[in-house]
Amino acid sequence: MYRALLAALLPTLALIAVATPAAADMRFLSYDPADRVTTALTRGLTLQVERGWFGSVTVHRLISTAARGSAAISQGGPNEALRVLPEGAAQTALYTVGDTGDARGLARALCPGAEQTYLVMGQVRAVRPLTVQAVGRWPGGQYRHCVTLNYEYRGEWAMPPAGAMSIDDDVTPTRPD
Protein backbone atom coordinates (compact mmCIF):
# COMPACT_ATOMS: atom_id res chain seq x y z
CA MET A 1 0.00 0.00 0.00
CA TYR A 2 2.78 2.44 0.92
CA ARG A 3 4.62 1.61 -2.29
CA ALA A 4 1.56 2.44 -4.36
CA LEU A 5 1.17 5.78 -2.52
CA LEU A 6 4.87 6.59 -2.95
CA ALA A 7 4.70 5.62 -6.63
CA ALA A 8 1.75 7.99 -7.09
CA LEU A 9 3.39 10.90 -5.20
CA LEU A 10 6.88 10.68 -6.70
CA PRO A 11 5.94 12.00 -10.17
CA THR A 12 3.94 14.83 -8.59
CA LEU A 13 6.84 15.85 -6.36
CA ALA A 14 9.23 15.74 -9.31
CA LEU A 15 6.89 17.96 -11.33
CA ILE A 16 6.66 20.48 -8.49
CA ALA A 17 10.47 20.57 -8.12
CA VAL A 18 10.92 21.24 -11.84
CA ALA A 19 8.08 23.78 -12.06
CA THR A 20 9.16 25.90 -9.08
CA PRO A 21 11.58 28.17 -10.99
CA ALA A 22 9.03 28.62 -13.77
CA ALA A 23 6.36 29.61 -11.25
CA ALA A 24 8.26 32.76 -10.28
CA ASP A 25 6.67 35.87 -11.72
CA MET A 26 8.72 39.04 -12.27
CA ARG A 27 6.78 42.32 -11.96
CA PHE A 28 7.44 46.01 -11.51
CA LEU A 29 5.39 47.81 -8.85
CA SER A 30 5.44 51.62 -8.95
CA TYR A 31 4.89 53.94 -6.01
CA ASP A 32 4.49 57.69 -5.59
CA PRO A 33 5.81 59.50 -2.51
CA ALA A 34 3.19 60.04 0.18
CA ASP A 35 4.90 62.82 2.15
CA ARG A 36 7.37 65.70 1.86
CA VAL A 37 10.42 63.80 3.14
CA THR A 38 9.89 60.91 0.73
CA THR A 39 9.39 63.33 -2.17
CA ALA A 40 12.64 65.13 -1.33
CA LEU A 41 14.68 61.92 -1.18
CA THR A 42 13.25 59.65 -3.86
CA ARG A 43 10.37 61.32 -5.79
CA GLY A 44 9.01 58.11 -7.34
CA LEU A 45 10.01 54.48 -6.95
CA THR A 46 9.51 51.27 -8.91
CA LEU A 47 10.35 47.92 -7.32
CA GLN A 48 11.44 44.97 -9.41
CA VAL A 49 9.80 42.13 -7.51
CA GLU A 50 9.61 38.40 -7.93
CA ARG A 51 6.41 36.75 -6.81
CA GLY A 52 6.89 33.18 -5.80
CA TRP A 53 4.73 30.39 -4.51
CA PHE A 54 2.16 31.08 -1.78
CA GLY A 55 2.28 34.85 -2.41
CA SER A 56 5.85 35.44 -1.27
CA VAL A 57 7.50 38.55 -2.73
CA THR A 58 11.21 39.29 -3.01
CA VAL A 59 12.48 42.71 -4.08
CA HIS A 60 15.54 42.63 -6.38
CA ARG A 61 15.96 46.19 -7.57
CA LEU A 62 14.82 49.75 -6.88
CA ILE A 63 14.27 51.88 -9.96
CA SER A 64 13.79 55.62 -9.96
CA THR A 65 10.60 56.54 -11.81
CA ALA A 66 11.45 60.27 -11.80
CA ALA A 67 15.00 59.99 -13.15
CA ARG A 68 17.22 57.42 -14.79
CA GLY A 69 18.79 55.10 -12.25
CA SER A 70 18.42 51.82 -10.45
CA ALA A 71 19.95 50.10 -7.45
CA ALA A 72 20.33 46.39 -6.86
CA ILE A 73 19.45 45.23 -3.37
CA SER A 74 19.89 41.80 -1.84
CA GLN A 75 17.65 40.08 0.63
CA GLY A 76 18.96 39.84 4.18
CA GLY A 77 21.25 41.75 6.49
CA PRO A 78 22.25 41.97 10.15
CA ASN A 79 19.59 41.75 12.85
CA GLU A 80 21.06 44.90 14.42
CA ALA A 81 19.43 46.87 11.59
CA LEU A 82 16.01 45.68 12.77
CA ARG A 83 16.74 46.58 16.40
CA VAL A 84 17.15 50.32 15.73
CA LEU A 85 13.81 50.83 13.96
CA PRO A 86 11.50 53.44 15.49
CA GLU A 87 9.08 52.23 18.13
CA GLY A 88 5.96 50.80 16.53
CA ALA A 89 7.61 50.09 13.16
CA ALA A 90 6.03 46.95 11.69
CA GLN A 91 8.45 46.43 8.79
CA THR A 92 10.47 43.19 8.86
CA ALA A 93 11.77 42.43 5.34
CA LEU A 94 15.47 43.34 5.50
CA TYR A 95 17.52 44.18 2.38
CA THR A 96 21.11 45.31 1.91
CA VAL A 97 21.74 48.16 -0.54
CA GLY A 98 24.59 47.36 -2.94
CA ASP A 99 27.70 49.50 -3.15
CA THR A 100 28.10 49.91 -6.90
CA GLY A 101 26.66 52.33 -9.44
CA ASP A 102 23.42 54.08 -8.56
CA ALA A 103 23.08 52.04 -5.35
CA ARG A 104 25.97 53.98 -3.85
CA GLY A 105 24.18 57.28 -4.54
CA LEU A 106 20.94 55.97 -3.04
CA ALA A 107 22.78 54.84 0.09
CA ARG A 108 24.45 58.25 0.49
CA ALA A 109 21.15 60.08 0.03
CA LEU A 110 19.29 57.97 2.59
CA CYS A 111 22.04 57.59 5.23
CA PRO A 112 24.78 60.20 4.66
CA GLY A 113 28.06 59.10 6.21
CA ALA A 114 27.08 55.47 6.77
CA GLU A 115 29.44 52.68 5.69
CA GLN A 116 26.52 50.45 4.74
CA THR A 117 22.82 51.08 4.21
CA TYR A 118 19.93 48.69 4.77
CA LEU A 119 16.27 48.96 3.82
CA VAL A 120 13.54 47.41 5.92
CA MET A 121 10.27 47.11 4.04
CA GLY A 122 6.74 46.29 4.95
CA GLN A 123 4.82 43.69 3.03
CA VAL A 124 5.06 44.50 -0.69
CA ARG A 125 1.67 44.04 -2.33
CA ALA A 126 -0.09 45.65 -5.25
CA VAL A 127 -2.67 48.31 -4.43
CA ARG A 128 -1.29 48.77 -0.89
CA PRO A 129 0.84 51.63 0.46
CA LEU A 130 4.45 50.83 1.28
CA THR A 131 6.64 52.00 4.14
CA VAL A 132 10.42 51.67 3.89
CA GLN A 133 12.81 52.27 6.80
CA ALA A 134 16.43 53.18 5.97
CA VAL A 135 19.06 52.11 8.50
CA GLY A 136 22.79 52.77 8.35
CA ARG A 137 25.90 51.24 9.88
CA TRP A 138 28.53 53.80 10.81
CA PRO A 139 32.25 53.38 11.49
CA GLY A 140 32.68 51.50 14.73
CA GLY A 141 29.71 49.24 14.01
CA GLN A 142 26.99 51.54 15.36
CA TYR A 143 23.56 51.17 13.68
CA ARG A 144 21.17 54.11 13.40
CA HIS A 145 17.75 54.67 11.87
CA CYS A 146 18.08 57.23 9.06
CA VAL A 147 14.64 57.94 7.60
CA THR A 148 11.14 56.58 7.09
CA LEU A 149 9.86 56.67 3.50
CA ASN A 150 6.13 56.42 2.80
CA TYR A 151 4.68 55.57 -0.60
CA GLU A 152 1.27 55.29 -2.20
CA TYR A 153 0.71 52.57 -4.79
CA ARG A 154 0.70 53.82 -8.40
CA GLY A 155 0.57 50.76 -10.68
CA GLU A 156 1.96 47.43 -11.79
CA TRP A 157 3.95 46.80 -14.96
CA ALA A 158 5.21 43.74 -16.80
CA MET A 159 8.36 45.69 -17.83
CA PRO A 160 10.22 48.58 -16.18
CA PRO A 161 9.08 52.13 -16.97
CA ALA A 162 10.46 53.46 -20.28
CA GLY A 163 13.82 55.16 -19.82
CA ALA A 164 14.13 54.13 -16.18
CA MET A 165 16.85 51.57 -16.85
CA SER A 166 19.60 51.31 -19.41
CA ILE A 167 19.68 48.55 -21.98
CA ASP A 168 22.60 46.99 -20.07
CA ASP A 169 20.68 46.64 -16.79
CA ASP A 170 19.95 43.03 -15.95
CA VAL A 171 16.31 42.47 -15.00
CA THR A 172 16.77 38.83 -14.07
CA PRO A 173 16.57 38.14 -10.35
CA THR A 174 19.68 37.32 -8.38
CA ARG A 175 19.45 34.52 -5.85
CA PRO A 176 21.11 34.84 -2.44
CA ASP A 177 23.75 32.15 -1.94
- Identity of the amino acid at 14: A
Those residues whose C-beta lies under 8 Å from the C-beta of residue 118, and which sit 6 or more positions away, are 77, 78, 81, 94, 95, 96, 97, 134, 135, 136, 137
* pLDDT value, residue 115: 95
Which pLDDT band holds residue 22 (cuts at 50, 70, 90)?
A: very low
Those residues whose C-beta lies under 8 Å from the C-beta of residue 170, and which sit 6 or more positions away, are none
Domains of the chain, by residue range, sit at 24-154
What is this structure's pTM?
A: 0.76
pLDDT tens-digit series, residues 34-86? 999 999 888 888 999 888 776 678 898 888 877 778 888 999 999 999 999 99
* pLDDT value, residue 51: 81
Mean pLDDT of 146-155: 94
- pLDDT exceeds cutoff 50 at 11: yes
* pLDDT value, residue 162: 56
Whether the CB-CB separation of 118 and 77 falls below 8 Å is answered with yes
Task: State the first-to-last Cα distance of the chain, in angstroms, to the nearest integer.
Answer: 40
